[in-house]
Amino acid sequence: MASYRVREGSITSADSFSNLGSLYGQSTSSSVQVPANTSAIVGIIAAVSQDGATADNCTFAIQLTGDGLSEQQTLTIGSATNVGTETSDGTTNLPFALDVAIPVTASNQVSIAGAMDADMGEAQMSVTLVFA
């Protein structure tokens, strides 16, 4: 049986990882506890949105750290190109999903952070880790 852990938050500047420490208004930390009786992260589901007001292009990444992992993991999860003006009524995009096999230590912690490599204005990211 799989267990799911979610964190979300703002990506605040280019070339700097921002801890994703929110859970849609619930009080939490950027770390998630690895569920008991699990041995790996088997999936990552991630969504990124940004306001489109800044002309540029960039890629987005997540970084996983903590004593629940044997090594730090950094993964590219998306990209964006903006012309610099908001000209649409908005769009809804499906999240990015990736099958992975990242070993974990049960009951320890994994921190989730997100970054963009160029200043795209205001960006939000949500990441779900799937444990099994």
Can you tell me which residue has the tokens 């970054």?
115
Do residues 116 and 46 touch, judged by C-beta distance below 8 A? no
Hey, what are 57's tokens?
Answer: 């292009």
Can you tell me which residue has the tokens 């992975």?
100
In sequence order, the β-bridge partners of residue 97 are: 45
pLDDT tens column, 38-82: 999 999 999 998 877 777 788 999 999 999 999 999 999 988 877
Do residues 119 and 55 touch, judged by C-beta distance below 8 A? no
To the nearest whole percent, how much of the chain has pLDDT over 70? Answer: 93
pTM, two decimal places: 0.91
Please name each of the domains of the chain with its CATH number. 3-85+95-131 (2.60.120)
Local confidence band at 92 (pLDDT 50, 70, 90 cut-offs): low
